[in-house]
Structure 1
Amino acid sequence: MHHAVETFIQDLAVIMLIAGVVTVLFNRFKQPVVLGYIVAGVIIGPHTPPFSLITDERTIQILAELGVIFLLFSLGLEFSLKKLAKVGATAFVAALAEITLMLWVGYEIGIYFGWKKMDAVFLGAMLSVSSTTIIVKALNELGMKREKFAQLIFGILIVEDVLAIGMIALLSGVATSGSVDAGDAVTTIGKLVLFMIVSLVAGILIVPRLLDYVAKFKSKEMLLVTVLGLCFGFCLLVMKMEYSVALGAFLIGAVMAESRHLHQIERLIEPVRDMFSAIFFVAIGLLFNPSILAQYWLPIAVITLAVVLGKVVSCGLATFLSGQDGRTSMRVGMGLSQIGEFSFIIAALGVSLKVTSDFLYPTVVAVSAVTTLLTPYLIKLADPLSSRLAKAMPGKLASVFGMYSTWLASLQPQGDRAELSRIIRRILLQVVVNLALVAAIFIIGGYFAEALGGSMSAWVADPQVQDAIVWGGALLLSLPFLIATYRKLHALSMLLAEISVRPEWAGSYNHAVRRVIAEVIPVVSIVGIMLMIAALSSRILPPTNLLILVLVGAAVLVLVLWQRFVKLHSKLQIALRETLEQQPDEKH
């Protein structure tokens, strides 16, 4: 025991001392600190002569996993639904274009060099996500963090982070099954989106209020312990549900980002995050084999070129097509032309699942190192390059781009149309959130049905009756959300009827036609929702006679307690809105 502790302290001392010296040198020469950590890992690693300075790599890898948790937790703290709403469509279009193109480019490069199919799939995933850490550091050093293009980049990075979490979940499934089934992929993505929506909504209702209560004691220690407890507890829950620990860390961070105590949490977590993140990046360097670098110099050069050109084209073009000007689009494309922490996390996933070749990890580390060094220079190069392209562009092509920008601006709703569009989007978002909560309730009911049935067996022997009780309980819990969904759909159908049915078309039947539309759409929608519920809860769906009995009982409850259900949902909605609208405290 004493020897194990001594070995651990020795390894930790070596990591921190070497990392400290190397990062001081990198900082002095104005190079990214992240790259310094990786170089420190290479220096003390087993592949650098004369010998390895680390004796227990397994323990270091466990500490590196903690680094992943804190890294993703910190990214979650930077995630903001309000920030995401500001950049809107541009962020989604650019992030989706980048990930789609780079997945394909990476896969094709892997196949071209004759690598295994799984290596090609993981390479595509590694190249598809840019580095939040490196970009933020570069923009800070250049003093450009508050410029328009920087805000667009942050929005794209937020969307990328969310999509990358989904990609990690998909890759885990692909790695274990060895193939991608379209149905399984859709199901996986659907479950993931559902889990994320429910986690965010439930978390935002509960966690900020819990943190408010703990903060009243004015103890930094209590707040830090509570934050860490929530972080690791939620990560454990996510792992029990067979999702990536990275997903849990990111989601709980995103939930805490809506707390009034966000800035205090960031300050408390920062030193812990920096320590374990340093170990994570050093652990990446430990896996780096310089001999593989010499052996695979051509793939590294090709992949580096593909990353820079692919991201400039995909992000820059998508940003321009979303309505931004050429200069801003070029800056966005150049700023995102690197890979970083998510690429390492995906690479580590491939290594842990034993589905990728030994050369892939150090190859990606080398590409990340080169693109990291290039990032500040590419951002500086964006303005002169966009000016030269504008001068060199033929007049007819410039005219076409100008007409496109004018046409795109004309599509934006103005005045009353803009307000109407905003109302419709808000109603649809509320319907989606309510349906996600309903679906989650029935899925959870099905998951725990066997355990609940066992606890009821002493007084209800019939398994069908047990299923009816569980299904009825899930329906009871869902009633506030189902009623809210009906009311939102009714309001939406009335709005659509008012817009679409004009007196000059319907004549004397104008009022009657509008009323039919306003009543039919929500009723048909509720029937469709009930069919969806039946499909989701097929494992616990009671037989027809008991189902009718449960539905009749639910209908009676709705008639008697309609106003109470409405008030309950309104309270939840108000609590959610208040949490989202509150601003973090600046002073603590």
Structure 2
Amino acid sequence: MEQHLLFEVGLALGIIAFAGLLSSRLRFSIVPLLILAGMLVGPQTPHFGVLDFRFIDSAPLIEFLGRLGILFLLFHLGLEFSVGRLVKAGRSIIRGGIIYMAINLTLGLLLPFLLGWPFKEILIVAGITTISSSAIVAKMIVDLKRTVRPETEMILGLMMFQDVFVAVYLSVVSGLVLTGATSTMNVLASAGLALGFIIGIVFLGRKLLSQLNRLLNIPSDEVFMLVLFAILVIIAGFSETIHVAEAIGALLVGLVLGETEHRERIDKLVVPFRDLFGAIFFFSFGLSIDPLALGGAVLPALAAVGLTLTGNFASGMIAGRMSGYSHMASTNVGLTITSRGEFSIILAKLAMAGGLLPILQPFAALYVLILAVLGPLLTKESRWIYISLSRIFRWPALKDKEKPKQKQKKAVAESY
């Protein structure tokens, strides 16, 4: 009932806090624990009087707070970079994006084709398995303190490249699934609008830098935050209305404001909101997954996970090496972009609306969950993975700046 709304939100925050304490104790990424925590509760959970863990009344509010979490995660990530750095890396980003899409989309089309699924289902699965989760990737980069690494520029660029691809792909697939037809002009217009929006924000941000510095020259922290939040939500909301992911809108705002003289002040004030709302997002995502409906999709999901791990690592390694990154940096690219999330769920819901095969729902949920767990784990252990593979492929030894800190130095030395 509505009078229990505040208590339900309190219960959700309590579960999130417990997951945070557990992740701290285990020294493991909080992301998969939050998703698992969300899966363990939800509509399928028994309730005991006032202790109702189904979160029926509070689900819309929790989902909205989770959307704010995406905005703050990507906005803060953008603060760590500058528009100038990404512009200079533009050529390698385009080249890397094409390589990434060519490999992963091909594998995504191949799996459902071999399973004998219909054409529309093949397109849905290809989209589910191709696009990385911007929110999870951003969280991992921040948690592992990798924002200063040069290869993170390519990771950010790949997310932007994927968003332009999403605009085109979603236009085509939604047209086919929901109406049975699509317009070439509509597809081209959607892609051009997404690309134009990204370029426009970057261009205006650089041209209006002095005006932004004056606008944000506000003594009061309270008013400063109000102006900052207004800019963030308006730009992200506008990007959503033109079918560009709201997360990319938030990332662009961060990139632009990261070049202002107020960057350090913004960073200090935004971090608490990033951590709070970001945690709610991953918990909310877990709430959307029904663990009782996963059974029949186990084998297809595991096969998709295997292909995704292979395709992401191969494309990250090829794109990274072609852009001049070291083998270790290229390994980081391939492993960091492994996680899947929000876009995969959007496509699964589109399939449900279009009356496609019911197996697509549990398939998407299980696939996303496995990679949401494996993604952070593989990214965290990227050095160990590189060392193991370097013995097989005879890659160069790690440079001093790429080696682990104190506790791992001995293990790395012994591995040679």
- Other-structure match for 1:286: 287
Distance (whole Å) between structure 1 residues aligned to residue 261 and residue 44 of structure 2: 47
Is 1:363 the counterpart of 2:350? The answer is: no
Paired AA for residue 191 in structure 1: L
Q: What is the Cα deviation at residue 212 of structure 1?
A: 3.0
| Alpha-carbon spacing, 1:191–1:88, altered in 2? closer, same or farther (3 Å) | closer
Task: Give unmatched runs, 5+ long, in structure 2.
Answer: 396-416
- Other-structure match for 2:390: 386
Query: CA contact under 8 A between 2:109 and 2:122: conserved in structure 1?
Result: yes
- Other-structure match for 2:203: 201
Distance (whole Å) between structure 1 residues aligned to residue 363 and residue 74 of structure 2: 23
Q: What is the Cα deviation at residue 310 of structure 1?
A: 0.9
- Other-structure match for 1:160: 158
Q: TM-score, normalising length from structure 1?
A: 0.58
Q: What is the Cα deviation at residue 186 of structure 1?
A: 3.1
Distance (whole Å) between structure 1 residues aligned to residue 237 and residue 291 of structure 2: 36
Q: What is the Cα deviation at residue 34 of structure 1?
A: 1.1
| Alpha-carbon spacing, 1:13–1:291, altered in 2? closer, same or farther (3 Å) | same
Distance (whole Å) between structure 1 residues aligned to residue 154 and residue 295 of structure 2: 34
Distance (whole Å) between structure 2 residues aligned to residue 294 and residue 18 of structure 1: 26
Distance (whole Å) between structure 1 residues aligned to residue 117 and residue 64 of structure 2: 29
- Other-structure match for 1:257: 258
Q: TM-score, normalising length from structure 2?
A: 0.79
Is 1:170 the counterpart of 2:171? The answer is: no
Q: How many residues align?
A: 380
Distance (whole Å) between structure 1 residues aligned to residue 145 and residue 205 of structure 2: 35
Note the 1:346-361 alignment, pairs <5 A: 346-348=344-346, 350-351=348-349, 354-355=353-354, 357-361=360-364
- Other-structure match for 1:214: 216
Which is higher, the Rg of structure 1 or of structure 2?
1
Distance (whole Å) between structure 1 residues aligned to residue 201 and residue 79 of structure 2: 15
- Other-structure match for 2:150: 151
- Other-structure match for 2:12: 15
Q: What is the Cα deviation at residue 13 of structure 1?
A: 0.7
The superposition leaves residues 393-415 of structure 1 with CA deviations (integer Å, 9 ceiling, x where unpaired) of xxxxxxxxxxxxxxxxxxxxxxx
Note the 1:188-587 alignment, pairs <5 A: 188-206=190-208, 209-215=211-217, 217-241=218-242, 243-324=244-325, 327-328=327-328, 331-332=331-332, 334-336=334-336, 338-340=338-340, 343-348=341-346, 350-351=348-349, 354-355=353-354, 357-372=360-375, 373-390=377-394
Distance (whole Å) between structure 2 residues aligned to residue 230 and residue 207 of structure 1: 14
- Other-structure match for 1:483: none
Distance (whole Å) between structure 2 residues aligned to residue 219 and residue 96 of structure 1: 46
Paired AA for residue 328 in structure 1: M
Does 1 or 2 have the higher relative contact order (CA < 8 Å, sep 6+)? Answer: 2
Distance (whole Å) between structure 2 residues aligned to residue 8 and residue 352 of structure 1: 29
| Alpha-carbon spacing, 1:350–1:294, altered in 2? closer, same or farther (3 Å) | closer
| Alpha-carbon spacing, 1:116–1:54, altered in 2? closer, same or farther (3 Å) | farther
Query: CA contact under 8 A between 1:132 and 1:157: conserved in structure 2?
Result: no
- Which protein has the bigger helix share? 1
Q: What is the Cα deviation at residue 134 of structure 1?
A: 5.3
Distance (whole Å) between structure 2 residues aligned to residue 135 and residue 145 of structure 1: 11
Q: What is the Cα deviation at residue 366 of structure 1?
A: 2.1
The alignment partner of 1:296 has SS state of helix
Note the 1:21-170 alignment, pairs <5 A: 21-48=18-45, 52-56=53-57, 57-85=59-87, 87=89, 89-115=91-117, 117-130=119-132, 150-152=149-151, 154-170=152-168
Query: CA contact under 8 A between 1:106 and 1:125: conserved in structure 2?
Result: yes
Tell me how large the CA RMSD over aligned residues is: 3.2
The superposition leaves residues 487-537 of structure 1 with CA deviations (integer Å, 9 ceiling, x where unpaired) of xxxxxxxxxxxxxxxxxxxxxxxxxxxxxxxxxxxxxxxxxxxxxxxxxxx
